[in-house]
Amino acid sequence: MHVRDVVAVLEGIAPTRFAEPWDNVGLLLGDPSASVSRVLLAIDCTEAVADEARARGAELIVAYHPPIFQPLKRVTAPGLVFSAIRDGLAIFSPHTALDVAPGGTNDVLGDVVGLVTRAPLRTQPPKGGEPLPPGFGMGRIGDVEPTTRAALIERIKSGLGVSHALVAGPTAGDVRRVAVCAGSCGDLYRDALAAGADVFLTGELRHHDALAAAAAGMTVVCALHSNSERVALEALAQRLRGSAIIVDRSERDRDPFAIL
């Protein structure tokens, strides 16, 4: 396969034209005509992840977060972009295109909390963007089998593979409706409240937004930014493995914050 072939598969999973207009998605580095036999998946393309790709013989890194976000004025050594170009590493980023797509980041979070019904939490297209097809949208909202907030928090920690989570709002009481949104979800907590969510799972939320959500009686669970996203990599890997390439998940990709 070639880089362009893998890009076509990724575009079929999460069309980049539906990403947020401020985002920088798609093939960010590399030659579309270059051959690819191995792909490495990560949330962040750090130097450690790039070194892992080289060691594994991966020619393409699919990094959920774009390592190039603002325009670059110089590409010099040492540096991630310089060394990737020098070594022929291609880098593709799906970011918010994967968030809004069916089966993407937020649907995987929906699976973690056990949504038995689901719909996008916010469906209006990004400002200036193409209208979203049915099923596309930011976040997810739906019903769960009746449970308790304490039990759901434990389920979230287990599903995300984390030992701790930040929780604002009530920790006791029943749960029937849950909203999720991976990463940093800004004012989507208001959408969750308007949709009647008892619990809102996300990566991080601003201090005063957490206070407002808690005051309204909604429980907010923050797993840390990339911890809320990393669980989606395995689902993406499974879909890519249908192509004639080897797909690995990075072992050196992790959230920059640690619980000490």
pLDDT digit string, tens, across residues 108-161: 999 999 999 999 999 876 666 778 899 999 999 999 999 999 999 999 999 999
pLDDT over 70 for what percent of the chain?
98
Average pLDDT over residues 194-205: 97
* Structural domains in the chain plus CATH codes: 3-94+231-249 (3.40.1390.30), 99-226 (3.40.1390.30)
Q: At what angle do helices 105-113 and 149-160 cross, to 10 degrees?
A: 130
Residue 238 has a CB neighbour count (10 Å cut-off) of 10
Coarse DSSP helix, strand, coil percentages of the chain, rounded to the nearest 5 percent: 35, 25, 40
- What's the CA angle centered on 95, arms 198 and 72, to 5 degrees? 135
Residue 176 has what pLDDT? 97
Number of H helices, E strands in the chain: 10, 11
Q: What confidence score (pLDDT) does residue 127 get?
A: 66
For 32-49, what is the mean pLDDT? 97
- Residue 117: CA count within 13 A, CB half-sphere: 7
pLDDT digits (tens, 9 = 90+) for 61-85: 999 999 999 989 999 999 999 999 9
Output the pTM of the full model: 0.94
- Split at pLDDT 50, 70, 90, the class of 199 is very high
Residues of the chain with pLDDT > 90, as a percent, come to 90
The average pLDDT across 80-109 equals 97
3-class secondary structure, 158: helix
> Does the pLDDT at position 1 exceed 70?
yes
The residue ranking higher by pLDDT, 252 or 243, is: 252
DSSP class of residue 196? T
- Region 166-171: mean pLDDT is 97
Contact call for residues 13 and 256 (beta carbons, < 8 A): no
Under the banding of pLDDT at 50, 70 and 90, the label for residue 24 is very high
pLDDT at 206 over 80: yes
Q: What pLDDT is recorded for position 131?
A: 85
Per-residue pLDDT at 130: 77
pLDDT, mean of residues 5-11: 97
Q: Give the angle 202-120-153 at the CA atoms, nearest 5°.
A: 30
pLDDT band of 259, cuts 50, 70, 90: confident
